[in-house]
Amino acid sequence: MKTLRRLLLGFVLLLLSATAGFIVLVGPWPLYCDSNYQKASYFVRALAAIDTGALRTQIGGEVAPLIAGWAEREITPSGA
């Protein structure tokens, strides 16, 4: 009887901790709702900054592919 009580108590504690963990991690907050970020002031400022940056950029006639490489070099100090 004592073992059964301990098992039941352990199960209840496990269930309570799982429920508390779910509420803390996922929570009752709306997960899939529209936040209307398009109307937010930061979004409008970000779009204006992108447009300003695009006006200052110019695309050249000859666009070359990106060239990347790999190099190795000894970085041990000379006195070591």
Q: For every one of its 80 residues, what pLDDT tens digit does the chain have, with 9 covering 90 and above?
A: 889 999 999 999 999 999 999 888 887 676 677 778 888 899 999 999 999 998 888 776 777 788 888 888 888 888 76
Q: Is 4 helix (H, G, I), strand (E, B) or coil?
A: helix
**What's the confidence (pLDDT) of residue 80?**
60
Which residues does 40 contact at the CB level (< 8 Å), separation at least 6? none
Residue type, 3: T
